[in-house]
Structure 1
Amino acid sequence: MLHADLDSFYASVEQRDNPRLLGRPVLVGGGVVLAASYEAKASGVRTPMNVQQALRLCPHAVVVPPRMHAYSAASKAVFEIFRDTTPEVEGISIDEAFLDVGGLWRIAGSPVEIAQRLRARVRAEVGLPISVGIARTKFLAKVASAVSKPDGLLEVPPEGELQFLHPLPVERLWGVGAVTARALHERGIRRIGELAELGEGPLAAAVGPAAGRHLYALSRAQDPRRVDTGRRRRSIGAQRALGRRVRADDEIEAYAHGLADRLGRRLRAARRVCRTVVLRMRFDDFTRATRSHTLPEPTDRDAVLLHAVRTLLTAALPLIHERGLTLIGLSLTNLDDADSMQLTLPLEARADSTLDSTLDALRDRFGSDAVTRAALLHRGTGLTVPMLPD
């Protein structure tokens, strides 16, 4: 397995396209740091951090606005190289993927040779640094790529897996976040080797049976998962930060409509339909809440999605007035393929030419902001972060 991960992706694209930024600390973002170059990370800058806080840590950093179209184009170019290397590619995000190269020994050489050529091609053809981890399992390959950063290559041979893994901190294990790490630290467990020595039983008592079984297996370098080339999203979502300023109801509704339009377009582009609409809210005290509505039948129609969003938002307005809203998000879940959708009476074929499809075509040709809702004029549609296909 290879785990290939572009280094500080957004910031690296900015440094590639503007040579004056090479070797300088770069922050990509506006109010929040979306990405930081390694020169900025050396000063303690992390994502997502407030830009002002980041500048206090790194006063000489250069702040540049995000250019999502440039990052999307760079990602597509890199994934073309991945798929030219092996047909077994599982994208994790727009800047990282797993590649199964186990069957390429005779035609392409050893995994290390394949990784070396891949890194050289990404540097020569796309102009970006990329780190690659090589291991027998996906988990170890991902850890190896993280350890090799920046712009590195690291192989973990099968006979050296535990020697590589056990000295690392427990935070390197998938599933160990702040809460789990604190529970382990309280028991004196800070290294993966110490966790492995503890055993599955005591570990399950500390973090729960499922988590204990999962973490113990990883601590023994056991990860049976294969590269999954057919994985599709189980949900799609989008969100918009609103800041601390009090927003009028019509402004909040306009932003919700803009998010619904964006998600409806993604649904149709992926030829999928959804059954459940989820409204996500973050309040002024940083607490969160969700509200969901399940539709009678799957849909990809904007009018149906908007009706569900309005219903959810109307019901949530008293809570928003009481606690203040700093972020609004929407998710579409219970996804299915549009081609396999159960027809309802009357049994008529779905029209290919609709208002939704016409607006999609206009936005595809002239840009996402070519057609927008009147309520969003002078408010913008917010950042659209590039993602893998849905």
Structure 2
Amino acid sequence: MIGIHGMAAGPLQPIPGDSVVSRQHPATADDPGAVTSRRWVLHIDMDAFFASCEQLTRPTLRGRPVLVGGTGGRGVVAGASYEARVYGARSAMPMHQARRLVGVTAVVVPPRGAVYGVMSGQVFDALRSRIPVLETLSFDEAFGEPAELAGASVAQVHEFCAELRALVRDRTGLVASVGAGTGKQLAKIASGLAKPDGIRVVSPAEQQQLLAALPVRKLWGIGPVADAKLRSLGIETVGAFAALPEVEAVSILGSSVGAALHRLARGIDDRPVAERAEAKQISAESTFEHDIVTLDRLRLAIDDMAASAHRRLARDGRAARTVVLKLKKSDMSIVTRSFTLPYATEDLATLTAAAQRSAIDPRELGPVRLVGVGYAGLSDVRQESLFPELDRRPELAAMVGEDLPEVDEPVLAAAGRGGHLGPEPSAAAPDGAATPGDDVVPGGAAAPGNGAVTSGVEHPPVEAAAPHWQPGTDVHHPGFGHGWVQGAGQGRVTVRFETRSTGPGPARTFAADDPALSRADPLGSLD
């Protein structure tokens, strides 16, 4: 595994298991690299995108186990660096569970959608310079079908993918894995096999063998309900499903999807690669095996669907203002209710509370067989929705009709310390004193140097930071430039001053009410 900072500048090498034919050595009929396909689809997937963006723009985090997501009691991991994944942490996992797995070295930072949006745009701009038509799936992945690869050999496709990865890395500093196959499904499976930091080209000769061994759940379009139905019939692999007569597949999964899924299982995937219109609503829904007849069970289902839709919202990179609850009754009639917030947010607790406000007791409505939660009124994420002080306002809780969960402070570095990010507990000393190598700036303007430049104003100890500095917040200082809050507490705030271009920067500790510190646009970290 190679972190962003450890990427070599030379040509990329194939991962083990790839068949590659160099341009200097013509392929023979017996050479796997000579296999050609009339059509090659690529799936480009950025490696640990959210965490990689944080490590890129905050160089101190490079090589460390980074968890991106909410820090509250109901916080969810939006992204995990590969250093964190070694411990078992992964996206969509409850943050408290990920923290337990990684331990005290975990660095938890709130998501910065504005940064991810700009970086995503830079990645796609680089890709479009080689592949004019991209079908983007989210912030960090896309399909492409380069016209120049029509009829190309496996070796030629591999070489194209290597050039594409190098282009993305050179222009953005980020790492992409690329998969290639004769259709979208195989390309996506291949990119998963290529991770991290690699290339995998699935040739027509091997695709059926590769598909056959996969769990049937891996087949595009097979969800939990269909998976359970197939498994109950003893059909556990894609190969077993492909071996069924098509008419039987249709009888099991229905006429609308059965035939299409059966074709995919047999490696037949002629779906075109096309630009996608931006979604107006992002949602998730589930049909339950047994009707929901109690409010408590309905609320649990709403929580699950709100979290599922939120994962898609996070990958989309936008915030939502309107929350829609969809309930399908046992008589197949549908009831929808919506609630509109005073501002767009991507905070899971706020969105879930809004969905719960619309819940109707099944004892009054009737048995419920399907629950769905959708997010609409989508807009680009800005800092206000990434650091949702508004979400803690009592008036919002009143609007939503119930108390919103408080946003917990980040895990303390040690007993008695203020909130702190990262595996360097010394950065936020319990008595507010400077730690070795860091300058304390008690107040007023300051300039870089070996010692602190103070205003001469003595600040007495304070019980709480004012203003409230949340770890992970982007800040600006007229003397030190752009930085981010690494720790805060006991009237002090520790800021790490660094951006994408600076390399690891110094940490400085200030009085929490220092007027020289101000909130900054997160995009300043891209400089």
Question: What's the TM-score once normalised by structure 2's chain length?
Answer: 0.47
Instruction: Please point out which of 258, 271, 294 is paired with 1:212.
Output: 258
In the TM superposition, residue 44 of structure 1 has moved relative to its aligned partner by: 2.8
User: Matches of 2:383 and 2:109 in 1, distance apart?
Assistant: 21
In the TM superposition, residue 80 of structure 1 has moved relative to its aligned partner by: 0.7
1:279–1:290 Cα contact (<8 Å) kept: no
Q: Within the alignment, does 1:2 sit opposite 2:2 as a pair?
A: no
Which amino acid in 2 is paired with 1:53? Q
User: Matches of 2:151 and 2:239 in 1, distance apart?
Assistant: 36
User: Matches of 1:226 and 1:162 in 2, distance apart?
Assistant: 20
Which amino acid in 1 is paired with 2:61? L
User: Matches of 2:115 and 2:100 in 1, distance apart?
Assistant: 28
In the TM superposition, residue 140 of structure 1 has moved relative to its aligned partner by: 1.0
Instruction: Please point out which of 162, 175, 178 is paired with 2:224.
Output: 178
- How many residues align? The count is 285
2:197 corresponds to which residue? 151
Go from structure 1 to structure 2 and tell me whether the alpha carbon gap of 1:61 and 1:125 turns closer, same or farther (over 3 Å shift): same
User: Matches of 2:116 and 2:54 in 1, distance apart?
Assistant: 9
Go from structure 1 to structure 2 and tell me whether the alpha carbon gap of 1:35 and 1:215 turns closer, same or farther (over 3 Å shift): same
In the TM superposition, residue 82 of structure 1 has moved relative to its aligned partner by: 0.9
Residue-by-residue CA offset, 1:36-94 (whole Å, 9 max, x unaligned): 12232333323322211211222232211212222112101101111101212111111
1:196–1:219 Cα contact (<8 Å) kept: yes
Instruction: Please point out which of 71, 77, 80 is paired with 1:33.
Output: 77
Which amino acid in 2 is paired with 1:15? Q
Which amino acid in 1 is paired with 2:191? S
Report the identity percentage: 38
User: Matches of 1:172 and 1:237 in 2, distance apart?
Assistant: 22
Q: Within the alignment, does 1:49 sit opposite 2:89 as a pair?
A: no
User: Matches of 1:189 and 1:328 in 2, distance apart?
Assistant: 31
Correspondence 1:45-194 to 2 at 5 A: 45-59=89-103, 60-103=105-148, 110-194=156-240
Q: Which stretches in structure 1 are left out of the alignment for 5+ residues? A: 240-265, 267-276, 294-301, 303-312, 334-359, 383-390
User: Matches of 2:159 and 2:266 in 1, distance apart?
Assistant: 27
User: Matches of 2:65 and 2:337 in 1, distance apart?
Assistant: 41
Secondary structure of the 2:135 match is strand
User: Matches of 1:214 and 1:207 in 2, distance apart?
Assistant: 10
Which amino acid in 1 is paired with 2:266? R
Correspondence 1:296-311 to 2 at 5 A: none
Go from structure 1 to structure 2 and tell me whether the alpha carbon gap of 1:238 and 1:380 turns closer, same or farther (over 3 Å shift): farther
In the TM superposition, residue 106 of structure 1 has moved relative to its aligned partner by: 11
User: Matches of 2:264 and 2:359 in 1, distance apart?
Assistant: 46
Residue-by-residue CA offset, 1:13-44 (whole Å, 9 max, x unaligned): 11223343333321101222111122323333
1:342 corresponds to which residue? none
Question: What's the TM-score once normalised by structure 1's chain length?
Answer: 0.62
1:89–1:228 Cα contact (<8 Å) kept: yes
Which amino acid in 2 is paired with 1:199? P
In the TM superposition, residue 212 of structure 1 has moved relative to its aligned partner by: 1.9
User: Matches of 1:159 and 1:330 in 2, distance apart?
Assistant: 43
In the TM superposition, residue 369 of structure 1 has moved relative to its aligned partner by: 5.0
Instruction: Please point out which of 238, 241, 260 is paired with 1:195.
Output: 241
Go from structure 1 to structure 2 and tell me whether the alpha carbon gap of 1:39 and 1:178 turns closer, same or farther (over 3 Å shift): farther
User: Matches of 1:209 and 1:106 in 2, distance apart?
Assistant: 34
User: Matches of 2:335 and 2:242 in 1, distance apart?
Assistant: 37
Secondary structure of the 1:159 match is coil
User: Matches of 2:82 and 2:96 in 1, distance apart?
Assistant: 18
Which amino acid in 2 is paired with 1:126? T
Go from structure 1 to structure 2 and tell me whether the alpha carbon gap of 1:61 and 1:148 turns closer, same or farther (over 3 Å shift): same
1:278–1:290 Cα contact (<8 Å) kept: no
1:247 corresponds to which residue? none
Whose radius of gyration is greater, 1 or 2?
2
2:478 corresponds to which residue? none
1:34–1:47 Cα contact (<8 Å) kept: yes
1:254 corresponds to which residue? none
1:25–1:38 Cα contact (<8 Å) kept: yes
Correspondence 1:313-332 to 2 at 5 A: 319=360, 330-331=375-376
Instruction: Please point out which of 18, 38, 41 is paired with 2:58.
Output: 18
2:281–2:374 Cα contact (<8 Å) kept: no
User: Matches of 1:278 and 1:17 in 2, distance apart?
Assistant: 32
Q: Which stretches in structure 2 are left out of the alignment for 5+ residues? A: 1-40, 285-317, 328-333, 344-353, 365-371, 397-406, 408-527
In the TM superposition, residue 376 of structure 1 has moved relative to its aligned partner by: 7.7
2:337–2:358 Cα contact (<8 Å) kept: no
Correspondence 1:196-275 to 2 at 5 A: 196-229=242-275, 231-233=276-278, 235-236=280-281
Correspondence 1:364-375 to 2 at 5 A: none
1:280 corresponds to which residue? 324
User: Matches of 1:186 and 1:289 in 2, distance apart?
Assistant: 32
* Higher helix content, 1 or 2: 1
2:325–2:359 Cα contact (<8 Å) kept: no
Residue-by-residue CA offset, 1:317-341 (whole Å, 9 max, x unaligned): 6849x99xxx9864269xxxxxxxx
Q: CA RMSD in A?
A: 4.2
Which amino acid in 1 is paired with 2:92? P
Go from structure 1 to structure 2 and tell me whether the alpha carbon gap of 1:178 and 1:376 turns closer, same or farther (over 3 Å shift): closer
Secondary structure of the 1:224 match is coil
Residue-by-residue CA offset, 1:100-123 (whole Å, 9 max, x unaligned): 11335799x932222111101212
Which amino acid in 2 is paired with 1:42? V
1:105–1:111 Cα contact (<8 Å) kept: no
User: Matches of 2:194 and 2:157 in 1, distance apart?
Assistant: 16
User: Matches of 1:222 and 1:215 in 2, distance apart?
Assistant: 9
Go from structure 1 to structure 2 and tell me whether the alpha carbon gap of 1:214 and 1:331 turns closer, same or farther (over 3 Å shift): same
Secondary structure of the 2:189 match is helix
User: Matches of 2:359 and 2:183 in 1, distance apart?
Assistant: 50
Secondary structure of the 2:161 match is helix
User: Matches of 1:145 and 1:222 in 2, distance apart?
Assistant: 18
User: Matches of 1:16 and 1:238 in 2, distance apart?
Assistant: 31
Residue-by-residue CA offset, 1:346-375 (whole Å, 9 max, x unaligned): xxxxxxxxxxxxxx9xx99xx6759xxxx8
User: Matches of 1:202 and 1:104 in 2, distance apart?
Assistant: 37
